[in-house]
Structure formats: structure tokens, C-alpha cells
Amino acid sequence: MQKPTPQQVEAMMTEKMGALPSSLNAAKAIDPEFLVDQAISSKMSVQSEANPFDPKTSMMIALATSITLSSDECVMEQTRMLKKMGITKEELAYLVRIVKHAHTSAVMGSAKAAFETFES
């Protein structure tokens, strides 16, 4: 497989998302190869033929991760893409409920050290 050029990646992303995300636009100004790195990362994960998940499920996992990491730009882009893939309001609401539960559970797991230290 031949490595794409930054211009090819930008054209593909613009076609797929309507515009290049501002974070990648800023990265491109510093080093256009960031676009290629991003495309290769996507090809090796979300878009991989070995990915056992369908594209919508993969994007829902990516959205859940972006919500958890507080990446507003990614949340907006992934939500736009999921709308094109047919995500329903109910699916989005349930995805957020799952993320909220996981986040709360992680807080309790992290608090364990404080509880145990206090009791020792």
C-alpha cells in the first residue's frame, strides 16, 4: 500500500466530514504529515478490514471515548458522522448513559486508595 500524500488525506477527510477538523488544520500548518499519520491510524483501527465492529458501532465507541476524554471537537465531528450513519436520539442518549456510568464507576475505583489510606 502506497502512503497517501497530505493533500490526498485532506481531500478525503473534507469529502467525508465536510471540512477538515480545526485541530488537524492547525496541525497541518505545523507539519502536513500529521494528516497522513491520522489517516493511517484510522485505517489501522476504525477502518481496518480486521475490525469486528460495523462502522456505526466503531464510531459509537470512538464517540464514547471522545466524550470521556472531553474532546469537544471530536465529539462534534463524530456525532455529525453518526447522524449520517443513522444514529437515533435514543441510541445517543443511551451511549451517554453508558459513558456516564463508566465515568462514575472509575471515580469510585480511583477513590479506593483514599478510602483504604484513611482506614489504615
Kindly give the confidence (pLDDT) of every residue in the chain, 120 residues in length, as a single tens digit, with 9 standing for 90 and above: 688 999 999 998 898 888 888 899 899 999 999 999 998 888 888 888 999 999 999 999 999 999 999 999 999 999 999 999 999 999 999 999 999 999 999 999 999 999 999 999
Return the domain boundaries, the chain: 1-44, 54-120
Cβ neighbours around 94 below 10 Å, total: 12
Distance CA 93, CA 30 (A): 37
**Of 28, 22, 14, the residue nearest 76 (C-alpha):** 22
Residue 1 is predicted with a pLDDT of 63
The pTM score is 0.81
The CATH class of 54-120 is mainly alpha
